[in-house]
Each structure stands twice: as C-alpha cells, then as structure tokens.
Structure 1
Amino acid sequence: MRLSQLLEKCKIVAIHGEENVEVENITSDSRQVQKGSLFIAVEGINTDGHDYIGKAIEQDVQVVVYDKPMFEEYFSRVTYVQVENSAIALAQIASAWFGNPSEHLKLVGVTGTNGKTTVATLLHRTFRTLGYGAGLLSTVANYVNDDSFPTTHTTLDPITLNAFLRKMVDAGCQYAFMEVSSHAIHQKRVYGLRFEGGVFTNLTQDHLDYHKNMLEYRNVKKAFFDSLPESAFAITNSDDKNGAVMLQNSVARKYTYSVKGMGDFKARIFEKHFDGTEIEINGKELIVQFVGVFNVYNLLAVYGTAVLLGQQPDELLRILTLLKPVAGRFQTLRSPAGFTAIVDYAHTPDALTNVLNAINEVLEQRGDIITVVGCGGNRDKTKRPLMAREAVELSNKVILTSDNPRFEEPQDIIDDMVAGLDDEQRRTTLSIVDRREAIKTACALAKPGDVILVAGKGHEDYQEIKGVKHHFDDKEELEKIFHGLLPNTLNS
C-alpha cells in the first residue's frame, strides 16, 4: 500500500523523503521490521519505540513514523514522518492498512471495572444464536464467528486488533463485540475505530498502579463515551454513581439500565438459587442460569444493547434463558461430599464483594462460606488490604494464598493483604502460599451444605511466577480433589 494512503488521517508535522513509496508491512515492534516495512515508534510504559529507530534502520526499514524530534541527519533511503502523536498515528495507520474494517461492522465496545467479559461474551453468544455472523474480542478468548483464537490482553494493540476486525469482515460477520480497557483508551489502541455503541458496566477501584487516582481512571473511561459519534448509542448502568458522568459530554444517543431505580431497561429480582435466578425485565418474567445481582446487571446490559441493535425483545428474553455463565465467572461445581465450590475471576474489592453477597443471599446462613483468595503481583497494591477485609467480613473462613505473584514474593503480597485485618480477624484467617494446598485445605474444611469460593483467577489456566507461566487451573484443581471424594468422607 502506498504511504500517502496510510497517512491520510494522520496529523503530520513534517516529512523527509519520498512520500509515495510502497509499504510492504507495518509494525510498532522493531524486531519485526523487514525490508519495505513501516515502523511506528511509540512511547510505551516500559520501553520507548524511539530508542529502536536505529535498529529498524539497520534492518532496512522503508518508513519511520515518530513524534519526538530527534534526528540530526536523515538517510536518503528512509522516509521519515513526524506526526503529532505516534500512538494515534499507529491506530490510524493500522486501520487504513486493513481497509478500515470497523466501518464494515456494527462494533460495540464494553467498558467498566467489572462485567466487561461477561457482557461482551454474552452479546456474541446472543447474536450467534440469532443466526448472525459475529466476532468477539475479550479477556478470555477472541472469536470470529465460532472459531476461537487465544488472547493475551483485554484490548489488543491496534495492528492485531484491526487484523482481527478484518478477519471478521472477511468471514461475513455483521457484528463485533469487544472489551475496552482503560489502558487501551489511554494508550489510544481503539482510536479511530467506528463504534455503533458503547456500554458502561460500573466503576470501582482497580488499576491504580497505572492511573494516578480514581478521578483519572474515571475520566479515561469517560473519554470513550465522549468519542462516540452522533450515530452511535451509549448505554450505562444508572445505578452506578458514574453512569450519568459517562453520558455528560457524549453526543451519542443515551440510554440507561437499572435494577434499583428507573431506566430504559429495568429489571426486578424475585428468587435466587445456585442454579439460577427468577427475574423480570421490562415487565416480562423469566428464569436465567446466572446467580447474583451483578449478573442481573450484566444480562440487562446485554438485553438493552441487543434491543438498541434492532433485535426483537421477546426473542431476546427467550435467548437470555438459554445463556450460561462465562468460563471462570461464577462457575458452580458440586462436590460428591455435599458442598458447593464456585470459581470466579473476582480480583477487585467490589467484584469480590458482589460474588460473596450473591453467595450469602442464596445460602441464607444454611452453611459456611470458605473463601480462598489472593492478589496479583506487580499490580495495584492499595486493593490488597481491601480484598482481605471484604473476604473476612463476608465469609466464615478465609484462606489467603498466592494468585499470579509475577515478580513479587508471594508471602509479601499476602502480608499486604493481612495488613487490612484487625487482630481478631488475623487470628481466624489462614495463610497458605501454595495455591493448590490452599484449595485442598478449603475442601478438607468444608462440610455438607457449605460453599467454597476460589476467587481471583477464574478462567486463567496458569500461574505466573518470576516471568514463567506454570499450568494451574482452579476448576481443574477442584475437579481433581472431587474425583477422590465420596459423600460423608470429609471431616469424618
């Protein structure tokens, strides 16, 4: 593709060299530069692509795009393009390279602290059930119709993201649903994509290792809705105090959903069980296979979004009754010993509170709740004491353990969690660094009628320790233990 075509939407400061050269491929990774490449130098969190421009030139790069003025001399065989913002240029160039695929899809972005994966995934499943071609970009997996591809980030880099959107268009997808993380919004990874709609789930403490404070975190989320065009819709959770904030400056069509108050899409909850919930949506009663008020919000977001995309309300309600929980999101396992185990991705204080409240509402003190929980290493440390406190206050027994320690010492992370407890709470809380042993201990402590919550990792099938990923799956570990259990064999 000609360079001039790729630069059409970019804000250019200066060009040195031939503007009409033919570009063979695009990359923001100097290790992937080949003869004829266009290399975009972007400043990241840990590295700055500008430091690798020399390496790219040595590898016979065709074009260098950058935003920091830094050249004293120019090589005549290279075209240099200085832009106002490299991150934005990367998104624009990536979109142009793949033929602006978002313009050929009805693309919906889902953002918020909790619920993104569930809402995006259930939207994909709903539209596939309705018979439409649909794609999904999520934390758990990426889908082009029913073909699954592994994922590494909540929101992909612009080149990989646009490549997936192109696959969707080529495969005949009419709709695409994606999680939009605060990191991605801040780093301009979704810049320039054309969204048909945006969904806001909620806002609670998370990612304060990246954002300076909650205000900045909220404003980054809000920027996504500020960027939606007039032709798009914005649907927000009006029961969250930040729901209205998301809509303040948006020119998109505005809608709300609610359980507690008024909303365009309104739900009521009747009966709660571990295998489902009896609810009402906009006056119609149904039974869904989900547990917890937080999941009713998720289903409302799915229903409202699908209605705004033109689908029939009654058919959507029928499909909602068929949908099942997403992998690692309130997944329920029954032990032959008579207790229940739940695996959930809850890794923020609010998410943990929601899951434990849901369990308490169903259990109604007919058994104990035993919670196994840890916190990730090299992430927001301020939520660690909060996570421990929520676990202890809403459980009968708590075992603090390792999550993904990454490059931190697991015991140090647990110590940070314990700091949130008073002396009495510390005396009644167990700390077991080995996650496998922690889960085994919880099962050994459980009596018939009890519930074990294993929180924090959900769908993940690994533990990351000192930069190495080791296979570890909470659900798998529980099933191994259950395989050796028979009723009445525990605590005998």
Structure 2
Amino acid sequence: MIKVLLPKSVLLLYHKTLAVLANVYYRFPSRKLIVIGVTGTKGKSSAVLMITRILEEAGYKVGSSNTIFFKTGEKEWSNDTKQGMPGRFKLQRLLSQMVGSGCTHAVIEVTSEGILQNRHWGIAFDAAVFTNLSPEHIESHGSFAAYREAKAVIFKNLAKSYQKNEYSIVSLRAPRGYSGQAPRSNPEINSGIAAQRVASLWLASVASTLPRNDNGRSTIKKVIVANRLDSEAPYFLKFPAQEKWGVWGNCGQAEEIAGEKKLCASDIREGAKGVSFTVEGRFIQMSLPGVFMAHNAMLAMAVALALGASLTSCKEALEKISFIPGRLQAIDAGQNFKVMVDYAHEPRSFESVLEVGRRQALGHKLIVVFGVTGGGRDKAKRPIMGELAAQGADYVILTTDDPYNDDPEKLINDIVPGINKTGKSEGENWWRVVDRRQAMQKAFQLASAGDVVLLLGKGSEQVMAVAGKLVPWNDEEVAREILRKIQETRNNNQTRYNIQ
C-alpha cells in the first residue's frame, strides 16, 4: 500500500536501488554467463524453453527463468510466483545459482513490467530475442508506444552491455569438458583422449569462432534475433549488434536484407502428430500443435545457431519436446473428447489458440472456458476477448481467472458486451460460472465425443490471485481430477447396467 502512495520518481529510485544492491550482493553473476533475453507479447516462455532444450542438446549446461519453470543446470522446478520475470534479488540469486552449478548459458524471459521495475538492471545480455508485439499492460505503461519502448530496452543497451570473453565464461565452465565429456557435436567425445585434452580442444574450437577485441581475446558476440513476420520487427532490429537474424515463416515470404542473416522454413504443416517444417533440408516433426509453435521454434533455432549449436542439435531437441506445460497442453484422462490448457490471455493469442482449437475439433463442437485478470489490468481487452471467444467457439463459459482484489462477477460483466455483439444467448450457448472448478465441470458435461474444450488464461500457473492472497491452483491438475471423477461415475453406471 505504501508503494502505491509513493510518487513515481521515488518508486523508480526504489526499484533501481534494489537492482543495484542485488547485483552488488551477488557480484554481478550474469557477467560469468552467456545471457539470452527473450521478450515480446506472446511466445516468450515457449521460445525460452526451446532455446534451453536446444542448448542442452548441444552439450551446454543451461539455466533458465521464465513463466513456466526455473532451472539451474540439472535442477528444474515449477514457477509458482506468478511472475514471468522474478524480482531483483530473486533473479540475481537465481543467476548466481546458475554460475555455482556450472552453467555456461542463462535463458531469461524479459517482461515489460520487469523492465519498469528495473529487474533487468545489471544483467549483461549477449543475445536479445523479439517474438511479437500487440497491446498489453497499457494501463501500466500509459500507451502502446511506451509499452514498445519498455520491450526494446534490452535491445537498445545490448551493444553497450558488459563485454565478455572466453576466459570469463568458457574456460571456467566448458560444458562437460573437464569431467571427461565435451559437447555432443564434438566427435572426439568417444575417442578416449584425456578429459583435459577434450576441454582444451573444445575451448579452442569455440574461441576460434568468436570475434576478437584489441587485446586479441575472443569476445562473446552480441546478437539480435527478431520475428520478421511481426510488423514491429524492424524497430527491434535497428539497434546495433555484431550479428542480426531475421526469422521468417515460409521461405516464400523471406526477403534478403543487408547486414542480416535469415532463417526460414519450407512446407510448414499442422497434422495429427503436431506441426512440422523443413529448414535447410532438415525435416522437423514436432509434437506440438499450432503453426505459431513452428515460428517459436525457428526463433529458438536462430539463437542457438548464432551461439554455435548445429542444425542437428536443433532438430533433435525440438523433436524431443512432447509438450510445453500450459501451452496447448493436451489433458488425456481417458475421456472421448479433447481438453487443452493454454495461457492465452490477450486478443492476439486468443485468436491463434481458437484457430488451433477449431482445427482440432474437425467439425465437432469447440467449448471455451476463460476469465480475465483483475487488479486494473487491460480493461479494454475484456469485451474484445469475449467477442473473439463467441465468434470462434460454439459454447463459451465465463469464469474466474486472477481477480486479485476485484469482484469476479464484475470482471465477467466486463466481458459480456463483447459476447452480446455476436448474438449468442446466455443459457443457450454461453454461461457465467464464477467458480473455475465448476466452470470446467460444466464444460466437460457439455462435451460429446470428438469435441474440444479449451481452458484458457491460467496455463501452467500454480496459483490463483484472489483477495490479496495466492491460492494454490493448477488448471491441469484440477481438470484431471474432474475428468477422473466423470470417468469413474460413467464406469460405475456401466457396471450397474451390466449387472441388471
């Protein structure tokens, strides 16, 4: 409450002071890591996860911070903080733990809210990744232009960020080298040479690919990667960097742009197994649905390639990802209809996910369960999301998301005008069920064989923000629990019928 009453200038100084103190206390740990920052409106967590998995496949020891999980080398745990970018001391402690566990790389989700609070201050980024941009958090930033400016901060500062070399990173923590293993791409891993020799060869091979400074030392290059399919990409690519990558969709859309490497795919298709595409002759079959997942994957590939990973590592890592928690995650408890959990919580992501849901339904019903976030967040998008849901789905069930201190029923009322614009009737093809568990149950009761139920807004989150408290909640767990009970009831009824 005190922070709310403070003038903005004092609050900014407060955040900056905490950031400085956190960096000093933990001794600027990001200077000992190759740090990749991923920002944008949607796709951040998916891209972070994919980059992390590719770098691990290439043999590096990787740390990560994102909306879905935290990771320090081998240790990985769910993010239960409701923050895509942790506070200053938490984030610096996490980076310090990555260094302590022997990580060479850190892949970080960077949020505009985090930028406003200087959570990025002192982090020495080496690569900045832009996914896409659409209006969000406008109340916090004041305008879309200000929102874009916040997203661009790590790009603006990239070239001026602390310059690292192979001595500060590589020689201290060569991936698996000093324990007798080198990155998997190194053919000498199984040749039986001494561990020190392996590490030395690996260090030399990496160092030879790096630009050199005036002292002759190999430096870690600064890289910008941007989604060229987004109209805002040129803005993020205009900032200085030693290497820039433009990532396109199909190669037919790609353009040759001076001073910029390009990555594009041919034959992007979504099938029963998931989305597939071909890059430079390598066919990649992912288990994830949605063409936008292919675009996220190509962003991850561009970053990894820029940092020295191979196409083989990219392909093998991406094909091993069976699902991404809370991102079009399928929930199978034996029911005869599909249930998918997704984090979609703004209009653009809503459209993308509804499109996937409609394709998955194959002529059957599409049922959507969602609510909106309280706390004064993005009020303008509420009726828009209602309209999109009503247009894209057969049945819509409005419920609670993260109300914070707001009245959940009032939040639902803010969505209703958008639904009313489509002509749908309450009680016939849309309902309001404040309790999220009961809303899920209603959706499952409405579903028949072949239908698709989308549970949107919460994704993989482990808590719900209600009346100033964080209450344990996870859509996947609750959905499985309800579906199991439904199946048990049906099985018991069938048993009784057979006995009779």
**How many Å separate the matches in 1 of 2:291 and 2:356?**
7
**How many Å separate the matches in 1 of 2:90 and 2:464?**
25
1:90 to 1:253, Cα distance in 2 relative to 1, 3 A: farther
Does 1:199 find its partner at 2:129?
A: yes
State the Cα distance separating 1:208 from its structure 2 match: 1.6
1:253 to 1:131, Cα distance in 2 relative to 1, 3 A: closer
Does 1:246 find its partner at 2:174?
A: no
1:274 to 1:437, Cα distance in 2 relative to 1, 3 A: farther
Does 1:255 find its partner at 2:245?
A: yes
Q: Is the 8 A contact 1:345 1:456 kept in 2?
A: yes
Measured against aligned partners, the alpha-carbon deviations of 1:407-426 in whole angstroms (never above 9, x if no partner) come to 11111001100022326124
Q: Is the 8 A contact 2:463 2:470 kept in 1?
A: yes
Does 1:237 find its partner at 2:227?
A: yes
**How many Å separate the matches in 2 of 1:244 and 1:258?**
13
Measured against aligned partners, the alpha-carbon deviations of 1:41-94 in whole angstroms (never above 9, x if no partner) come to xx99626499xxxxxxxxxxxxxxxx97xxxxxxxxxxxxxxx95644543443
State the Cα distance separating 1:187 from its structure 2 match: 2.4
1:397 — aligned with what?
395
Does 1:218 find its partner at 2:148?
A: yes
**How many Å separate the matches in 1 of 2:361 and 2:157?**
44
**How many Å separate the matches in 2 of 1:44 and 1:191?**
23
More deviation in 110-119 or 428-437? 428-437
**How many Å separate the matches in 1 of 2:432 and 2:80?**
32
* Alignment RMSD (CA, Å): 2.6
Of residues 101, 123, 137 in structure 1, which corresponds to 2:29?
101
* Structure 2 residues without counterparts, runs of 5 or longer: 161-220, 256-261, 495-500
**How many Å separate the matches in 2 of 1:44 and 1:220?**
25
Q: Is the 8 A contact 2:330 2:338 kept in 1?
A: yes
Q: Is the 8 A contact 2:39 2:111 kept in 1?
A: yes
2:423 counterpart letter in structure 1: E
Q: Is the 8 A contact 2:54 2:313 kept in 1?
A: no
1:32 — aligned with what?
none
More deviation in 203-212 or 193-202? 203-212
SS of equivalent residue, structure 2 residue 367: strand
**How many Å separate the matches in 1 of 2:475 and 2:88?**
32
More deviation in 179-188 or 236-245? 179-188
SS of equivalent residue, structure 1 residue 347: coil
State the Cα distance separating 1:227 from its structure 2 match: 0.9
Q: Is the 8 A contact 1:272 1:362 kept in 2?
A: no
Q: Is the 8 A contact 1:138 1:151 kept in 2?
A: no
**How many Å separate the matches in 1 of 2:475 and 2:98?**
32
Q: How does 1:38-187 map to 2 (within 5 A)?
A: 46=4, 48=6, 87-149=15-77, 150-152=79-81, 153-187=83-117
**How many Å separate the matches in 2 of 1:116 and 1:44?**
32
**How many Å separate the matches in 1 of 2:324 and 2:3?**
31
State the Cα distance separating 1:225 from its structure 2 match: 0.8
Q: Is the 8 A contact 1:128 1:145 kept in 2?
A: no
Q: Is the 8 A contact 1:120 1:177 kept in 2?
A: yes
**How many Å separate the matches in 2 of 1:47 and 1:189?**
21
1:288 — aligned with what?
286
1:446 — aligned with what?
447
1:184 to 1:214, Cα distance in 2 relative to 1, 3 A: same
SS of equivalent residue, structure 1 residue 196: strand
SS of equivalent residue, structure 1 residue 188: coil
Q: Is the 8 A contact 2:365 2:451 kept in 1?
A: yes
Q: Is the 8 A contact 1:337 1:486 kept in 2?
A: yes
Q: Is the 8 A contact 1:370 1:396 kept in 2?
A: yes
**How many Å separate the matches in 2 of 1:382 and 1:98?**
40
1:415 to 1:191, Cα distance in 2 relative to 1, 3 A: same
Measured against aligned partners, the alpha-carbon deviations of 1:301-339 in whole angstroms (never above 9, x if no partner) come to 111111111011122212211113221111102353410
* Structure 1 residues without counterparts, runs of 5 or longer: 1-42, 51-66, 69-83
**How many Å separate the matches in 1 of 2:3 and 2:351?**
31
State the Cα distance separating 1:132 from its structure 2 match: 1.8
**How many Å separate the matches in 2 of 1:157 and 1:248?**
29
Of residues 158, 181, 206 in structure 2, which corresponds to 1:228?
158
1:370 — aligned with what?
367
Does 1:358 find its partner at 2:356?
A: yes
2:96 counterpart letter in structure 1: R
More deviation in 270-279 or 344-353? 270-279
Measured against aligned partners, the alpha-carbon deviations of 1:156-187 in whole angstroms (never above 9, x if no partner) come to 22222222111111111000000000112222
SS of equivalent residue, structure 1 residue 424: coil
More deviation in 401-410 or 259-268? 259-268
